[in-house]
Chains A and B, each alone.
Chain A
Amino acid sequence: MANYGTIFVLFLIAAMIALILWTLASVLGPKAPNPRKERPFECGNPPLGPVVRRVSVKFYIVALLFIVFDIETVFLYPWAVIFSELGWLGFWTMVTFVAILGLGLVYVWKKGALDWA
């Protein structure tokens, strides 16, 4: 647990650095607000239309794929650590697991979900 204590202290220091810089800037910086300055920046043009529009569905597909593969890597990590103790059985189990996932990836690919153009 002691190792996590040192990480916690490092967290505090990292947070402190960010806070110190931020506070310094807010104390030293000039404050001259005006309506034009606070407008959303669009290269000098008046802002056009709403900001939050409909988002392309591709982003959701990537997020879904990420969840599937991220969970897979979570399974792979403990496997990798005790890999040599598991022997051939552990190896072929993981080959099967990865093969099923690979099939899923090929399916997603052929369905055109990875086609961003």
Chain B
Amino acid sequence: MNEALELLANPWIHGFVFGAVIVTALMSVTAYITWFERKFAARLHSRMGPTMVGPKGLLQPIADGLKMIQKEDIVPRDADRLLFNAAPAITLFFALAVAAVIPFSPGLLASNLDIGVLYALAVSGLMGFPVWVGAWASNNKYALFGGMRAVAQAISYEIPMVLSALVPVVLAGSLSIGQIVEYQIEHGWFAFWPPGPGIFAFVLFMLTALAEGNRIPFDIPEAESELVAGPTTEYTGIKFGLFASAEYIHSLLASALGAALFLGGWDGPFGIPVFWMLLKTCMLFVGVTWIRWTLLRFRSDQLMALCWVYLVPGALGLLLITGLYVHVRG
């Protein structure tokens, strides 16, 4: 046992073990999230959801994965083959890379970066660009429109997201996610304490996370009633699957980040810390799913106005109010 722990202290072996565990866990959790989302949506619609493959449709994600792998991979005639093929893989790569700094309990994370918040936001912000690359390389006008909208939305909403994530940084005085969580364990969760800025920043963060993940009510890039499937129109089989799972992983990790930055991370009244972190992440993700199946889609102009006219000035004001609070408190 001690030898194993010593081995884990080596950064390369630590990275390999945690990287492999986190990546594998994320991929399989993502597969089952699709099952959960379909069941959940079905309940909201008074339907049954998947029932045929396995008990209660539990084998459905595996069947879906097998089907996607066996499908023909069609590349449009005038597409830029290299970029078209690379885009889905790069998207998934960026989505998974965010997981490196999410702490699940003290010490249980791939890499305890001092600039964890910055790293997570930077890498998840990069995710918008391979989507645009794929859309452009498809040589399809629906894909191109979708890609333009996707990148405009991703860069617009990135600003309020980054600003709202700064509120816990100002309160805790650290960019390390682990230290932010420890500060909350000592002083109370940021979503509730201090009353005011924390809860607004939390709502703002989850709202912009919805927009960054292209989920309803912000799914304008792939508005299926007008743009077929947006940036992924020309993609078939597993390449579409890579885009779709990258999107789910993105939403899941945004929920995890929200739980760590605002809801005290692994803080809980009893039991093991990992459980509380996973529970909070799941609750936030259920919220995201619930919103998706409840609300309607915004129009493009409403979306941009919401971001630049309300969210960006709001986030700036919130940050200054938080600063004022920290100074007055001393």
Contact = CB atoms under 8 A, between A and B. Distances in A.
A32 B72 contact: yes
B148 A59 contact: yes
A57 interface: no
A25 B92 CA distance: 16
What's the dominant secondary structure at chain A's contact region?
helix
A39 interface: yes
B280 to A, nearest CB: 23
B242 interface: yes
B173 A81 contact: yes
Interface string B8-44: 0001101110111011000100000000000000000
Interface string A14-30: 11011101101110111
Given A83-B323, A116-B305, A3 B111 contact: yes
What's the dominant secondary structure at chain B's contact region?
helix
Contact of B166 (A80, A87, A88): A80
A63 to B, nearest CB: 7
Contacts of B23: 10, 13-14, 17
B106 interface: no
Contact of B77 (A4, A7, A38, A81): A38
B235 to A, nearest CB: 10
A37 B73 contact: no
Contacts of A18: 88-90, 92-93, 242
Interface in B87-114: 88-90, 92-93, 96-97, 99-101, 110-114
B309 A6 contact: no
Interface size class of B (residues with CB under 8 A): 35 or more
A19 to B, nearest CB: 7
A29 B173 contact: no
Interface size class of A (residues with CB under 8 A): 35 or more
Interface stretch (B153-161, B187-195, B200-208, B288-296): B153-161
B71 interface: yes
Interface stretch (B135-143, B252-260, B266-274): B135-143
Interface hub of A2, A12, A95 (most chain B Cβ within 10 A) = A2
A42 B229 CA distance: 11
B284 interface: no
Contacts of A51: 78, 139-141, 144
A70 B20 CA distance: 33
Interface in A19-61: 19, 21-22, 24-26, 28-33, 35, 37-43, 49, 51-53, 55, 58-59
Closest 10 CB pairs of A and B: A6-B15, A9-B15, A116-B301, A2-B11, A25-B238, A10-B19, A14-B96, A18-B89, A66-B155, A38-B77
Interface of B: 11-12, 14-16, 18-20, 22-23, 27, 68-78, 85, 88-90, 92-93, 96-97, 99-101, 110-114, 118-119, 138-142, 144, 148, 152, 155-156, 158-159, 162-163, 166, 169-170, 173-175, 228, 233-234, 237-239, 241-242, 300-301, 304-305, 308-309, 312-313, 316, 319-320, 323-324, 326-327
